Amino acid sequence: MRRRWSNWGRSAQAEFAAVARPRDEDALAATIRSAARAGQRVRALGAGHSFTPAAVTDGVSVRLDHVTGLWAVDEDAGLVTVGAGTRLRDLPGLLRPYGLAMENLGDIDVQTIAGAISTGTHGTGSAFTGIAGQVRGLRIALADGTLVDCSPQLRRDLFEAARLGLGAFGVLVSVTLQCVPAFQLAAHEHAVPLDGVLEGYAELVRSEDHLDLYWFPHTRTALVKANRREASPGAAQPLGAWRAWWEDEFVSNGLLALVSEIGAAAPSAVPVLNRIAAATVAERRYTGDSHAVFTAPRRVRFREMEYAIPLAALPDAVREIRRTIDARGWRISWPLEIRTAAADDVWLSTAYERDSAYVAVHRYVRDPFVAYFREVEEVLLAFGGRPHWGKLHTQSVGELSARYPRLDDARRVRREVDPAGTFANRYVDRVLGSVTSA
Ligand SMILES: Cc1cc2nc3c(=O)[nH]c(=O)nc-3n(C[C@H](O)[C@H](O)[C@H](O)COP(=O)(O)OP(=O)(O)OC[C@H]3O[C@@H](n4cnc5c(N)ncnc54)[C@H](O)[C@@H]3O)c2cc1C
């Protein structure tokens, strides 16, 4: 029986020929071998949180719900190996007994570790890389069903391609992560004038460990979330339970859903609603365990596009997007999110060999997004932008190989390990090219 599926953002649909939930790596290898023999395609599916159709297939959808948990720990080196299907939200509990934590995380924690690294999931912080940059080893099931280990010392090219590999090189079985001693973050959230932030952006990102900016179009105000790593962690000072519920659940999710619905039904109300939202932001300070401060629940569904640009280009790019929104007369209820990352050496990383700023645009799931995303994309491309692989964009392999210096190396490795395109789908063929017609 074919299975219908849709991703979290309702921007990708699939009808799978079959769903496989292998109990271990041998069962996974057998699944891949038998699908390949039958001429079926195979795609791993994580938590379905990519906006792009990265995990879509009309063949076999592999879920690693049973390939999870802690497999090995090297406490002295801070190296931890987990099953590839492990959810990010489960990592704190697995790492806590060893006094370890993830160095950096994105906004949410429901993704699988394999899914998160495979599209280049990142958080913010100009001294910190995305999650794929924290990977030190992989175990991967290849198209012929063999299970191989790779790392910087072992099959290096496969490692470099597959640690941010869009599921195109094989199915990841386990991931070895470089962790850090557990730490706390002191958060300071407040509103500031956008123009001032853009003016001093270069100094601001250097002075904060993890800086996240939100700008609501039609306002002159930016919301700052600055997280400082605590050198000597004390007792956590979380928000009171009532305030946390009111602001993080009621306002950030419940009220946001209501305001988004009003904005979808009456777009002319959006500028006023955005100004009210920006004017009523309360300043907050709290301290907590890193994962709890980095991530928050996101219950209101939306669509997103995100590009990485050179860090120094950020102020001009945001000003240009603001001009474009004003010129077009669009009514945009959801904010731009602006983050940073350190340059890394991950072949397909948005931050490959480049200190980067990220600009993400969002639209509520019931709002039209194509024209807005397309024009903002043109602006970001003109600033040297590289699209996030898990978020909506229109780029194809020809354009992307000019933006990702190691994309052709990744394509070579793909031809070597998957010559028949067992792990291909339309999205991967669009962005990496087809192996079978190459
Ligand atoms: C509400 C929300 C918030 C988000 N916040 C952020 C953020 O802060 N920062 C950011 O960078 N991104 C963010 N994202 C994007 C998200 O982190 C990525 O799209 C991520 O890939 C989703 O992980 P997943 O487990 O859902 O993977 P899926 O979307 O299910 O799959 C993603 C890719 O990984 C592949 N894959 C999955 N498992 C395996 C495996 N075992 N082996 C090989 N390949 C595999 C799939 O085939 C597919 O190509 C957000 C998305 C949403 C919806």
DSSP H helix total and E strand total for the chain: 15, 20
Distance in Å, CA 133 to ligand 1 centroid: 15
Phi, psi of 424 (to 5 degrees): -80, 155
The residue whose CA has the least distance to atom 7 of ligand 1 is: 106
Class of domain 1-182+395-428: alpha beta
Token pair in block for residue 64: 């690693």
Instruction: Answer yes or no: is the C-beta of 115 below 6 A from any ligand 1 atom.
Output: yes
C-alpha 297/C-alpha 19 separation (Å) is 28
State the pLDDT at residue 1: 65
Between strands 356-364 and 302-310, the pairing is antiparallel
N-to-C CA span, the chain: 33
State the pLDDT at residue 106: 97
Instruction: Answer yes or no: is the C-beta of 376 below 6 A from any ligand 1 atom.
Output: no
Please give the number of the atom of ligand 1 that sits closest to the Cα of 50. 19
Between strands 336-341 and 210-215, the pairing is antiparallel
Instruction: Answer yes or no: is the C-beta of 64 below 6 A from any ligand 1 atom.
Output: yes
Is-contact 366 11, C-beta < 8 A?
no
Q: For the sheet with 60-63, list strands across it.
A: 18-20, 60-63, 42-45
State the pLDDT at residue 258: 86
Give me the tens of pLDDT residue by residue for the chain, a chain 438 residues long. Answer: 679 999 999 999 999 999 999 999 999 999 999 999 999 999 999 999 999 999 999 999 999 999 999 999 999 999 999 999 999 999 999 999 999 999 999 999 999 999 999 999 999 999 999 999 999 999 999 999 999 999 999 999 999 999 999 999 999 999 999 999 999 999 999 999 999 999 999 999 999 999 999 999 999 999 999 999 997 767 778 888 777 777 777 677 778 888 888 989 999 999 998 898 888 888 999 999 999 999 998 999 999 999 999 999 999 999 999 999 999 999 999 999 999 999 999 999 999 999 999 999 999 999 999 999 999 999 999 999 999 999 999 999 999 999 999 999 999 999 999 999 999 999 999 999 999 875
The residue whose CA has the least distance to atom 3 of ligand 1 is: 108
Q: State which of 86, 108, 131, 344 you would mutate to test the pocket of ligand 1, scoring each by most atoms of that ligand within 8 A of its C-beta.
A: 108
State the pLDDT at residue 250: 67
SS3 (DSSP) at 397: helix
Task: For the chain, give the longest Cα–Cα distance.
Answer: 61
Among 148, 133, 140, 137, smallest CA distance to 168 is for 140
What's the chain's Rg over C-alpha atoms?
A: 21
184-387: same fold as 1-182+395-428? no
The residue whose CA has the least distance to atom 1 of ligand 1 is: 298
pTM more than 0.75? yes
Q: Per DSSP, what are the bridge partners of residue 386?
A: 308
List the chain domain ranges.
Answer: 1-182+395-428, 184-387
Fold (CATH) for 184-387: Vanillyl-alcohol Oxidase; Chain A, domain 3 (3.40.462)
C-alpha 411/C-alpha 432 separation (Å) is 6
C-alpha 393/C-alpha 120 separation (Å) is 14
